[in-house]
Chains A and B, each alone.
Chain A
């Protein structure tokens, strides 16, 4: 119990002092997971909308693939991204392994099925008559799509939260493709594991609390946006 209390005190101390190491790790976590989430939105929203709104052969199979992807184990993604990025691997010439970019790639692979799956589900929930009505009112396809996305916006903010939450908290992929390099690819989760291995449980607890705090603040902001939008 003392240890947890001491960890909380440490966490507050590290934040108040704006400890440069901790700030750098925190900032890197936010940056990497933020970019990965953004990229997953760029790919996942159009893809999810396409799957949700159209009917084609093998659609059920594609949807099953996406839904499986929502539960991809980070270590599996980490392993495959590593194999591709090794010097001896097919993409080795890019020299990306053990860089923040490699973590972004792995986290993108983890996040985009989440966004795709949740977008597809949100699109399917929209009353199909709305589409007919929009087209009937003379909307172009693009206008219709825009209107449908607006209709599904709350569900999609949930997709943003789910994707971001999944990637900022994962460790397997970040450890494998990033390498937990001090001042370069050390993020909050990998730093927590390292401090635990070092026996610095108080620092590990402090880092965990900071991670929880960040996730909470971001979800709080997104939820506030969502609910404010809903109230109108």
Chain B
């Protein structure tokens, strides 16, 4: 009997002892990066973060959440730097003084995807707002992220522009990430709005096709912003700035340019450091 408890005790002590083996402390402290799920789900940060950590001596704690939450974290001073994609919301936060030094890092674009049969007959349409209106009027289902992510914020803006919205059961709000939204849309034969990268990554398993692409509102712009140290004294300002500087550096931009080409035959993001929004080509109409 004693042996039974002895064995258990040994096991527990071993676990405890193991707990003391901590990872080496970073040389210059920790930087909390709050960012959107797409940068993590695509695997881009897994490549970029180590490139920053090694030479700089910082450790980056990447917290991947929806853009709404990422911005809220920063606006509370619970992050040091944010990498997000909701320009309208970003500008609002900058105006309120929560963030400083907003800089464009990269972009890609959103696509409207739907069942291959295209029941709402969206393919070939020229205007984005019209396409959205037709989806709503056709009573075909539409999957909404419903999670205050950058994608969701854009989707809401597009419905507003269309002047309508799918009603009742046809509007499926799932409150989950992009991958989940695409899976639900595929299973339910619904339309949804997706960033091109996630759609490309999951395409094989989905019965969804691109029904509308290339219009200015569909541009997906990623900006890096530093949390304002004047407002939040606890913020690791130097670390946050170092990471933001790295993201717009030549080295990082070159990685972004090549990322995903080997796997998808095309890049998932396009580098855009130093550019203005108006300089980005949408490849289609302005609305």
Contact = CB atoms under 8 A, between A and B. Distances in A.
Interface of A: 30-31, 34-35, 38, 41, 86-88, 92, 97-98, 104, 150, 153, 157, 160, 179-182, 184, 194, 196-199, 201, 222, 225-226, 228-229, 232
Contact of A87 (B77, B178, B179): B77
A41 B232 CA distance: 39
A198 B38 CA distance: 9
Given A92-B234, A184-B23, A199-B201, A153 B5 contact: yes
> Chain B CB within 10 Å — which of A86, A98, A181, A197 has the most?
A197
A180 B65 CA distance: 10
B4 A31 contact: no
Mostly, the A contact residues are helix
A97 B30 CA distance: 12
Interface of B: 1, 4-5, 7-8, 12, 15-16, 18-19, 23, 32, 37, 40-41, 43, 46, 49, 59, 61-64, 76-78, 177-180, 201-202, 205, 232, 234-235
A199 B12 contact: no
A57 to B, nearest CB: 34
Given A182-B49, A182-B62, A198-B43, 12 more contacts: A31-B15, A35-B15, A88-B77, A88-B234, A92-B234, A157-B8, A184-B23, A199-B201, A199-B202, A201-B205, A225-B7, A225-B8
Contacts of A222: 8
B201 A198 contact: yes
B90 to A, nearest CB: 21
Nearest to A197: B179
A37 to B, nearest CB: 8
A38 B16 contact: yes
A160 B7 CA distance: 14
B180 A197 contact: yes
Given A153-B5, A181-B62, A31 B19 contact: yes
28 contacts: A31-B15, A31-B18, A34-B12, A34-B19, A35-B19, A87-B77, A87-B78, A87-B234, A87-B235, A88-B76, A88-B77, A179-B61, A180-B64, A181-B62, A181-B63, A182-B46, A182-B62, A184-B59, A194-B41, A197-B177, A197-B180, A198-B179, A201-B205, A222-B8, A225-B4, A225-B7, A228-B4, A229-B1
Q: Which 5 A-B pairs have the closest CB atoms?
A: A34-B15, A199-B202, A197-B179, A179-B63, A229-B4
Nearest to A33: B15
Contact of A98 (B5, B8, B19, B32): B32
B1 A153 contact: yes
Contact of A86 (B37, B46, B78): B78
A98 B16 contact: no
Contact of B179 (A88, A104, A196): A196
A38 B8 contact: no
Contacts of A184: 23, 59, 61
B244 to A, nearest CB: 19
